[in-house]
Amino acid sequence: MTTDTTTKGATPDATAPGEVVLDARGVTMRFGGLTAVRGVDLTVNSGEIVGLIGPNGAGKTTFFNCLTGLYVPTEGEVRYKGNVLPPKSFKVTAAGIARTFQNIRLFANMTVLENVLVGRHTRTKEGFWSAVLRGPGFHKAEAASRERAMELLEFVGLADKAEHLARNLPYGEQRKLEIARALASEPGLLLLDEPTAGMNPQETRATEELVFAIRDMGIAILVIEHDMRFIFNLCDRVAVLVQGEKLVEGDSATVQGDERVIAAYLGEPFEDAPGDEEVAEVEAAEAHAENTTDAAPGKENDR
């Protein structure tokens, strides 16, 4: 056991490249009269990084929740390695899909190591009696879990902070810890919900490296992101979701060049788009506004 290298140990359900890991067909999600996601098809193959983009409110996170068992799709089905996903989120994790959250949801008052150990929950079996009786099996399993968790912390670069409380980590490291926690459940597919939100360029680049490293472990990745540079650097394929429907899917160049995508993000240009004249006018107005704000304290002094 202990001699296993990181890569080997991390990929128990790693599959041959090219095999379909996730297959969502015609996923539709309705909340009463509102259709948040309508007939979306998406496949993720093993060893692939797929991006999911779209303007705010396009239904990305709803679609994500359909993939992780938080919602059961109203229509359509989601298959993971050929099996329809169970409707409970903990069963989905046990099946092999792990996720991170858009707004970090760590167990803030647990240590970094404990957070990762919680992620190991599905891959260990020790129950209440084993914990109370503490037979040899318990100690062995606990030691193995700890070792695996430390390997993962090493992998994301948090090993020296194992005993810190998760809440005390800086923002970027909390994101890393969330990824490590998700990896601890030994997934075949990792879903990242805006992994670089709020990060500076260096941190974003580090995350990019991390995602590539995870892909190299044989884990397929589906990522939602608003940072276009990040997405187009990273992803083999990008799907664009607009108003609950999939607009385009393809490689970076296809999506970047697609006019409908630009329109969805920036809006259609109007008939008389602002020309140079208007721009100059606006600039003049701004300059004037600055002057007035400077004068404001003086006015107060007069009083």
- Give the shortest CB-273-to-other proteins separation in angstroms: 45
CA distance 149 to 112: 10
Query: Which range in 39-47, 87-95, 255-263, 287-295 contacts other proteins by CB under 8 A?
Result: 87-95
Query: Which range in 83-91, 212-220, 248-256, 264-272 contacts other proteins by CB under 8 A?
Result: 83-91
Q: Burial letters for 244-256: b for 16+ Cβ neighbours within 10 Å, e otherwise?
A: bbbbbbeebeebe
CA distance 149 to 119: 9
Q: Does 114 help bind other proteins (rule: CB under 8 A)?
A: yes
What strands lie across the sheet with 237-242, from one edge to the other?
A: 97-99, 189-193, 220-224, 49-53, 237-242, 245-250
- Give the shortest CB-61-to-other proteins separation in angstroms: 13
Site for other proteins, residues 40 to 69, rule: CB under 8 A: 68
Site for other proteins, residues 120 to 159, rule: CB under 8 A: 120-122, 124, 126-128, 130-132, 134, 138, 141-142, 145
Q: What angle do CA 249, 250, 255 make, to 5 degrees?
A: 85
Q: Does 99 help bind other proteins (rule: CB under 8 A)?
A: yes
CA distances from 74 to 1, 27, 28, 77, 117 (A): 43, 8, 6, 9, 34
CA distance 178 to 207: 12
Site for other proteins, residues 4 to 23, rule: CB under 8 A: none
Nearer to other proteins, 128 or 270 (CB): 128
Q: Does 111 help bind other proteins (rule: CB under 8 A)?
A: yes
Q: Which phi and psi angles does 99 have, rounded to 5°?
A: -140, 165
- Give the shortest CB-250-to-other proteins separation in angstroms: 30
Quick one: which of 42, 106, 238, 241 contacts other proteins (CB under 8 A)?
106
User: What type of residue is 245?
Assistant: E
Q: Which of 265, 230, 261 is nearest to 247 (CA)?
A: 261
Quick one: which of 20, 118, 144, 150 contacts other proteins (CB under 8 A)?
118
The token pair at 64 is 């994500």
Q: Does 248 help bind other proteins (rule: CB under 8 A)?
A: no
Nearer to other proteins, 108 or 263 (CB): 108
Quick one: which of 20, 150, 159, 165 contacts other proteins (CB under 8 A)?
165
Quick one: which of 60, 176, 181, 237 contacts other proteins (CB under 8 A)?
181
What strands lie across the sheet with 83-84, from one edge to the other?
A: 34-45, 20-31, 75-80, 83-84
Q: Are 115 and 181 in contact (CB under 8 A)?
A: yes
User: What type of residue is 188?
Assistant: G
Query: Which range in 6-14, 93-101, 194-202, 234-242 contacts other proteins by CB under 8 A?
Result: 93-101
Residues that bind other proteins (CB under 8 A): 68, 70, 88-90, 93-94, 98-99, 101, 105-111, 113-114, 117-122, 124, 126-128, 130-132, 134, 138, 141-142, 145, 163-165, 167-168, 181, 185
